[in-house]
Amino acid sequence: MTDTAAADLLRAEELAGQALAAAPRNGIAHNAKGQVLRAQRRYAEAIPEYEAAISSNFNPVYGSHGLAHCKVFTGSIEEAIPLEEQAIRLSPRDAFVGVFYRQIGLVHVLQSRRNEAVVWLEKARNASPAHSNIRAQLASAYALAGEPERAAAELAEARRLSGDDRFSSLARLREVEDFGQLIPKLRALFEATYIAGLRKAGMPEG
């Protein structure tokens, strides 16, 4: 949401570091550092920060969600579901509950549990209908589950709702999402499931 994202993230990292230096056990500071590292896609480094925030009992809802996201992107996929379930249990009417549902749905997509993926991603869409990534992941899940018309409709919505052209092609999506920074095993898993579903839904290669 800024034209100077790299500089702003560096400044945020500096400020979080200052806060931790002043109060090393402060859960708010650990959570802030975790958020900065996650935004920088330094997922492995973010994990202990979220764990420290949760253990201090600061904001376990968003700490659990942030930790779940990092678990997915460091390859510990199955650990993400109970963390998101905890976030939902603690805040079932949360404004961001659709994102919690989405993370569970994504794990099911990656694990080729198509029916479960559809259930959770439909819940995510119903909670957050304007979220383009939810629509794209649901498009993939529908395609993998053998529902091409629903898949095409969700992909069209993802394109309409997105603020950029990331859903114009698979090549563009890989570039924007920086799939190259994923560990090889996880990158292969995304290609075999999520990307394969988007291909079936009608997203062109390039």
Domains identified in the chain and CATH numbers: 1-82 (1.25.40.10), 95-206 (1.25.40.10)
Residue type, 88: I
pLDDT number for residue 58: 66
For residue 36, give the 3-state DSSP assignment.
Answer: helix
Total-model pTM: 0.91
Alpha-carbon gap, residue 26 to 107, rounded angstroms:
31
Close Cβ partners of 36 (under 8 Å, ≥ 6 residues apart): 9, 12, 13, 16
From the list 59, 74, 70, the residue with the least C-alpha distance to 26 is: 59
Mean pLDDT for all residues in the chain: 95
pLDDT number for residue 178: 85
Taking only the tens place, the pLDDT of each residue in 8-57 is 999 999 999 999 999 999 999 999 999 999 999 999 999 999 999 999 87
* 8 A C-beta contact, residue 13 and residue 40: yes
Say which range, 52-56, 128-132, 133-137, 191-195, has the weakest mean pLDDT.
52-56
Q: How far is CA 83 from CA 55, 66, 105, in A?
A: 13, 9, 13
Q: Kindly indicate the confidence band of residue 181, based on its pLDDT and cuts at 50, 70 and 90.
A: confident
pLDDT number for residue 57: 75
Helix or strand run (H / E) with residue 13? helix 5-22
For residue 1, give the 3-state DSSP assignment.
Answer: coil
